[in-house]
Amino acid sequence: MHKFLCIIKQGILLTRRCFWNFEDDIRCLNPLLNKLVGGSATSQHCRGEAADCALSPRFMTEPSMSALRREIKTRVTEITGKLLRPDVNTNFMLFAYVCLNLKELDIDQVIHEYGEDFGRPAWVHIASSRRMDKRQVLIVGSYTKWRYLRLTVEETLAYAT
């Protein structure tokens, strides 16, 4: 958990400024609970290298976050040539931010997990490890027939335009 907490403490994901709801993943403390929620015994959650994260819905309306929202939207448009759909949720904004800054944040894996549709994840899985350098961007949910799909950053962001 040390490296992941260090990333957060460095402000890489703008924790307090973005109303980050970082809930310490309690399944890493209890292998039985991890099993009950369907987690893998080798999950990075169990090693404290991953967390399922969500931003508060206030991120989308808070005036102090307008510059960051604009930056994310602008960068998505620059990459895809299209505007973000208006129905993306706060968790997608977190997902997009991490995707856009994958290398700078030293993130191994970011996953757009479940939710109503692509662009509206229920949460964002973010993992970082000293042992791996995967730089994976994945999506999973009913929109992928419950299969993990690995995509490029460009492909992933294009789905939300």
CA 78 → CA 29, 126, 147, 158, distances in Å?
A: 42, 24, 29, 11
Q: How confident is the model at residue 36 (pLDDT cuts 50, 70, 90)?
A: confident
Three-state secondary-structure class, residue 70: helix
Query: What pLDDT does 23 receive?
Result: 45
Please state, for a pLDDT cut of 90, what percent of the chain lies above it: 41
- For the chain, give the mean pLDDT: 78
Query: What pLDDT does 47 receive?
Result: 67
More confidently predicted of 18 and 66 = 66
More confidently predicted of 76 and 65 = 76
For the residues 36-42, what does the mean pLDDT come to?
Answer: 72
> HSE of 160 in the Cβ direction (CA atoms, 13 Å)?
28
d(CA 7, CA 4): 5
For the residues 75-84, what does the mean pLDDT come to?
Answer: 96
For the residues 31-51, what does the mean pLDDT come to?
Answer: 71
**What DSSP letter does each residue of 101-126 carry, written as one string?**
THHHHT-SEEEEE-SSSTT--SEEEE
Q: How confident is the model at residue 105 (pLDDT cuts 50, 70, 90)?
A: confident
Which of 36-50, 80-94, 104-118: highest mean pLDDT?
A: 80-94
For the residues 6-34, what does the mean pLDDT come to?
Answer: 46
More confidently predicted of 38 and 9 = 38
pLDDT at 148 over 70: yes
Number of domains in the chain: 1
Q: Which two tokens stand for residue 127?
A: 């993992």
